[in-house]
Amino acid sequence: MNPLLQQLQSLFGTEGKALRALMAPLAVIMILAMMVLPLPAFALDLLFTFNIAMALMVMMVAAYMIRPLDFAAFPTVILLTTLLRLSLNVASTRVVLMEGHTGPGAAGKVIESFGHFLIGGNFAVGLIVFAVLVVINFIVVTKGAERIAEVGARFTLDAMPGKQMAIDADLNAGLIDEKDAKRRRQEVGDEAEFFGSMDGASKFVRGDAIAGLLILFINIIGGFVIGVAQHDLSASEAANSYILLAVGDALVAQIPALLISVAAAMVVSRVGKEQDVGSQIAAQVFNSPRSLAITAGVIGSLGLIPGMPNLVFITIASALGYAAWWMKERDRKAKEQDPVRPAEAAQANPEATWDDLQPVDTLGLEVGYRLITLVDKARQGDLLGRIKGVRKKFAQDVGFLPPPVHIRDNLELKPSAYRITLRGAVVGEGEAFPGMLLAINPGAASTNLIGTRTVDPAFGLPAVWIEERQREAAQMGGFTVVDCSTVVATHLSHLMQLHAAKLLGRVETQQLVEHVTKLAPKLIEDVVPKMVGIATLQKVLQLLLEEGVHIRDMRSIVECLAEHSATVTDPSELARRIRIHLAPSIVQQIYGPTKELDVIALEPDLERLVTQALNSPHGAVLDPGVADTLARSAAESAKRQEDLGVPACLLVPDMIRAPMARLLKRAAPRMRVLGHSEIPETHSIRIGSVIGAQA
């Protein structure tokens, strides 16, 4: 017995899925076959009854669903039920026209019952009832549902970018993981597809109502002609037989159509995702004692007017008045049984708490509403992917993982503007125009392009916003052409490089230590935090990053700290010794693999003057005029070096390297300052430019 059960379970488990997958195509084939193959009267009775039951079941599902996506198959169900009704109309039309002369039961008991019991055998009454049902279905229910579906589809599509941004913001903030974000993105996409499908499926319902009306008139005219011309019936006999059958057939099909139309209207008119329709109506319409009491008073007053049906009005007014009194007593008893506690009363007007304090984003990107498309994947926006790539590239180049970039829209910005913030402070701004390209002039391009003149926000180079059709001409003219997302991502990457030291907080330092611990656990255990605390390590790393020194080689940095931390505690001195330890990688970072270093030097007299001023026993005192001249001359020399395609690097004695780097940081931000001891023995030096004192 057990092996047999196992075989049955495996059979229904594997083949059952295949059978369920075949249900839809088989149903369509059977429905279409009904239009071609003649059906007996009993088969028509079964199918008409099934059609009514199916319509009732669909309406019940629509009434009890919580969210529209709970009935995601509804557009397809509308299509199949519409095809089923139309196929039954075709099949019944064939039977009515061929066998209608034999009597009212020619097309089955269901049509006969609708023709006799519902309309009393009077086809004129049947026509009027059918016309009323068509007006209700076509003019009222279907028209309204169609409009709601159209507006719902439009609003859902318009809201997609904001929903995607909210999901990505929660993901970047760490509120959800990648699995939850994927699920929520799928829900947003499914919701948009559902409302779009409902917008089109509502046309099925509308067309079904029109088809029912046309089929009725075809059956009436065709049946009357066949009865009189082919079966020699009198006009009255043909009318009683064929028209009565046609009306009964139309009513049998129109009632399920009305149920499906009501179900469609209930689906698209759903508001809220917490209760079904019945619970919502009960809670929001019949849960107000005041409304019920006022209604009872008005109905009771009408019932006292002479000539009115007093008994009916007074009965309804009494029922409503009792319901209002009962609800009021229920609310009063609930308040007495559950008095408001002092703590709960205080929560009604709560005090300010630490939860009200919103943290400031370490790294933020605010965009105008036109740039929302850049972060909307449904519109091929790839900025989120670019930002992920920027963070990954930063981690690979600089040596630590930067904090997530929190993206939000800001209506105070210009529509095409964006703003980059660091710990709440604005560090960069720019404009980007979706659908256009930025042609950047690296210096040698001379072609005149048609577009909006601007400046590259990352590096300050002259640029032009152009249309897509000018891309090839701009590239041939020597311009570097990038799209909107690349402009924003490049600007963000550049600012992250400039402010790398500020991005390395205590949290990032601790995470970096934990990461290195996996690679060299014994080394980290001996040095951090036994010999060097986290705070000191963070300060040392920040000093290195401030001067553009990457900290990828954390093992060498920690080894150097282990060597010198016993005798040196000053973070600045530790950073200086680490620079000497990392000299080969620092030089390679600036010059690449070349062995001959083209450097900028100070004129000897100026070098002695600066050395004496910056190393004075009374403190560093450099004449402001000399400092200004030195800064301007350094900026000019840096520009000459860069124009020659050579890195701008100033070589000075070790004792003044750090103060010179701080002095020239604003005047020549791209100039690097090296000390003599930071030049590896394997490299040679060539002085390409000399800064002389001209005061």
Of 604, 605, 584, 607, nearest in space to 594 by CA: 584
Give yes or no for residue 190 having a pLDDT over 90: no
Share of the chain above pLDDT 90, in %: 23
Give yes or no for residue 12 having a pLDDT over 50: no
| Residue 382, SS3 per DSSP | coil
Residues 682/659, Cβ–Cβ less than 8 Å: no
199-208, 412-421, 563-572: least confident range: 199-208
337-346, 575-584, 601-610, 613-622: least confident range: 337-346
User: What is the average pLDDT score of the chain?
Assistant: 80
pLDDT-derived band at 382 (thresholds 50, 70, 90) equals: confident
pLDDT-derived band at 291 (thresholds 50, 70, 90) equals: confident
pLDDT-derived band at 459 (thresholds 50, 70, 90) equals: confident
Give yes or no for residue 192 having a pLDDT over 70: yes
Give yes or no for residue 455 having a pLDDT over 90: yes
Other C-beta atoms closer than 10 Å to the C-beta of 662 total 13
**Which range among 357-361, 444-448, 514-518 has the greatest average pLDDT?**
514-518
Give dist(CA 148, CA 158) in Å, integer: 15
pLDDT-derived band at 287 (thresholds 50, 70, 90) equals: confident
What length is written for the chain?
Answer: 695
pLDDT-derived band at 21 (thresholds 50, 70, 90) equals: low
Per-residue confidence (pLDDT) for residue 120, from 0 to 100? 59
Per-residue confidence (pLDDT) for residue 365, from 0 to 100? 94
Task: Give the residue with greater pLDDT, 629 vs 153.
Answer: 629
Amino acid identity at 190: D
Q: What is the pLDDT of residues 385-404, one digit of tens each?
A: 889 889 999 999 999 999 99
Task: Give the residue with greater pLDDT, 138 vs 646.
Answer: 646
100-109, 481-490, 580-589: least confident range: 100-109
Of 640, 637, 623, nearest in space to 673 by CA: 637
Residue at token pair 């037989």: 241
CA 285 to the chain's CA centroid: 35
How many Cα atoms within 13 Å fall on the side-chain side of residue 536? 20
Residues 499/427, Cβ–Cβ less than 8 Å: yes
247-256: average pLDDT = 74
Per-residue confidence (pLDDT) for residue 167, from 0 to 100? 73
Task: Give the residue with greater pLDDT, 468 vs 59.
Answer: 468
Task: Give the residue with greater pLDDT, 69 vs 103.
Answer: 69
Per-residue confidence (pLDDT) for residue 5, from 0 to 100? 47
Which helix (H) or strand (E) is 156 found in, with range?
Answer: helix 143-173
Amino acid identity at 650: L
Task: Give the residue with greater pLDDT, 135 vs 348.
Answer: 135
Q: What is the pLDDT of residues 531-575, one digit of tens each?
A: 998 999 999 999 999 988 999 999 999 999 999 988 998 999 999
238-252, 550-564, 583-597: least confident range: 238-252
Give yes or no for residue 462 having a pLDDT over 70: yes
Give yes or no for residue 215 having a pLDDT over 80: no
Of 479, 465, 561, nearest in space to 513 by CA: 561
Of 280, 261, 256, 260, nearest in space to 270 by CA: 280
pLDDT-derived band at 313 (thresholds 50, 70, 90) equals: confident
Residues 367/434, Cβ–Cβ less than 8 Å: no
Per-residue confidence (pLDDT) for residue 425, from 0 to 100? 92
Q: What is the pLDDT of residues 89-127, one digit of tens each?
A: 777 777 767 765 665 555 666 766 666 655 655 666 767
Alpha helices in 37-142 (DSSP H): 41-64, 74-99, 109-113, 123-134
| Residue 230, SS3 per DSSP | coil
Q: Would the pTM count as exceeding 0.85?
A: no
